[in-house]
Structure 1
Amino acid sequence: MPPGASAMDFFQLFVPDNVLKNMVVQTNMYAKKFQERFGSDGAWAEVTLTEMKAFLGYMISTSISHCESVLSIWSGGFYSNRSLALVMSQARFEKILKYFHVVAFRSSQTTHGLYKVQPFLDSLQNSFDSAFRPSQTQVLHEPLIDEDPVFIATCTERELRKRKKRKFSLWVRQCSSTGFIIQIYVHLKDGGGPDGLDALKNKPQLHSAVARSLCRNAAGKNYIIFTGPSITSLTLFEELEKQEIYCCGLLSSRKSDCTGLPLSMLTNPATPPARGQHRIKMKGNMSLICWYNKGHFRFLTNAYSPVQQGVIIRRKSGGIPCPLAVEAFAAHLSYICRYDDKYSK
């Protein structure tokens, strides 16, 4: 993009006007049908493209200011924003929110539970693919939906329980250099889906299938993918290697699919080794590393040579030696297990 590009230019690189115009059409269609069925709404006027941009801007602004509700903009309280409040009245915003739709009606052939948002997700994915060139190193992970500390602090216990029971999970393939998302996958926990993943109840099996879906456009590009324990498996890594996709993942006897891995590397010795010591087993390009640092950490990789050395936890007195794969994984730890540092157990 040119140096003088605005935030709106960047947004429209991924969400162009044709996508927004479709939201306008679908929202107005839904409002019309709704009023035909339930009675006229005298306060409603068809939404315009300009209003739709403002409406989405309000929604996005809540993630920037971390306020508990978009309505806080008009509240006059701590999260109020007079300059934003003047763009659209609260009454108009709430009216658009009432009727907002990406897809107003289900077609007779639609069975997928995401039919109301799938066209937008597909468009967004196409924009990612055409406008963004990611770095070689990437991560697969499941970001938390409720990361906002303000929401956690202000919601009731009942609201928090309801949030935890959401019926979907979001998975992403993310560029580790920029933090930008490359690929998205939404898994419905209930109901049928076009990929059949709803039938998979075993978590490692499900997560491996999700990983394959997230990497379907990555073949032949020599990407290095970092994974958490629920995804890491010998079968998956060997399958991706055939597509010239290389991996480095943390293993857990509790969360990982350890099929095909030597049992001797998955059990802890009676006497703990010194910090920084490690054992290695190799099969072709695949290395299984068991590294000790106040606990046993196991890594599976075909992206890094096990003989290459690295250093981790740098301190004034020096660092703890480790294979390069361990150092590389640690650099991506904030993406993979930001909220859980007990994956090794």
Structure 2
Amino acid sequence: VIHIGSGTPPFAVGDQVEGRVDAERRRDNMQKHTGQHILSRAFIEICGAATVSSRLGEEDCTVELDRESVDQDCVRRAEKRANEIIFENRPVTVHFIPHAELSKYPLRKIPDRQEGEYRIIQIADYDWSACGGTHCTATGSVGLIKITGHDKLRGHIRFHFLTGLMALDDYRWRYEQIEAVAGLLTRHGREAAAGVAALLEDNGRLRRRIGELKKELLPSRIDGWLSQALIYKDVPVIALDFSGDDFKDAKDTALAIVKRRPAIVIAGADDKLLMAVGNNLPYSAVDLVKKAAAQYGGRGGGTPQLAQGGGFSPEDIKVLLAHPERVFD
């Protein structure tokens, strides 16, 4: 066994040193390695899908299968089968077997290297696999295997999983979040998702209704804005603050104003700026946006009738809306 450290060691060749195993980290690694063997065999047994690669990280573990997709019911049954193997507390045994004799054993995969002796991990009456990692002496020590998600990699499906106390910690925070959401919705935890879905549906309906009311009110609001507009060289200039509103509405609002009457509209929110210029006015929206960008450090583009910019500081946007005449300087 070789231990690789970092920096200059505080000892010399020939000195006797004492090393200590990080028990918690060792336990986690044993659970990950053994758990991966169990889960990979379960995917073969239940789904007919073999593992082509695996990764055992500090916070997340994965197995990549030789499939583009796996039925969700099959995944649940594979996860259940893996945990059944854990609960049966089957012995885990280490064997050292010459390559020439590997064909005598039911290995999931014969190693590519054609020489030497191999370290083979046997889970009693279940799995044989070559592996150099640390493992539990019995499957019960893995504690738990929980699949936490999946994604695509190289045309294959890859499953993320956790084992042991890491799986318990993951369950704990998820449970706490679900209970917190359920409490806010005054529902049982099992009904939290349905409650959120209903809330989102209500929110969507209300947003649509708000949009309808805004359209109904827009003509009278335009009259009010035009009556209070700054007059710059005989041109009405209207500054609109969309902070807290959907900035997507700024475009429709600005175009509606300049369609009603030749005017210039300056709309802003956070770091965004929009300008609209009515027909037959001696100004260009894109030129005005670029002028503002040059003054305040933003960027922008568009057409003579409509232009938009971004990258401004919220403070500068507030200044422009409070003093829209500065954009002409």
TM-score of the superposition, structure 1-length normalised?
A: 0.23
Larger radius of gyration: 2
TM-score of the superposition, structure 2-length normalised?
A: 0.23
Higher strand share: 2
